Amino acid sequence: MDPKIGKSHLARKELFRKGVRKGFLTVEEIEGALPPGTLAAAERWLLYYSLRAAEIEIIGDESESVDRAAFDEESEEAGEPV
């Protein structure tokens, strides 16, 4: 298994544990917990979406901290419909 993927998976699990326990996370906590370069824009968007769906408030989230345009561009490059 790729060490970056393993670290990212463990970091995301810990974020959910912490978020559920506290009821919120800050953008700084989320970004600081993720190993650099492990998540594509689509994966990052999905992480934030999943945190919100788990009713974890994201503090400092200026109307989607994740760049939606970057997600759309990445999908287009991969040949996926947007």
The least confident of 12-21, 24-33, 66-75 is: 66-75
Distance (Å, whole) CA 65 – CA 12: 17
Structure tokens at 34: 């993720």
Q: Cβ atoms within 10 A of the Cβ of 16, count?
A: 15
Q: pTM for the full model?
A: 0.66
Alpha helices (runs of H) in the chain, residue ranges in sequence order: 3-22, 27-33, 41-53, 68-77
pLDDT in tens, 57-67: 999 865 444 45
CA contacts within 13 A on the Cβ side of 68: 5
- Residue 50's pLDDT band, with cuts at 50, 70 and 90, is very high
pLDDT in tens, 21-42: 999 999 999 999 988 888 888 9
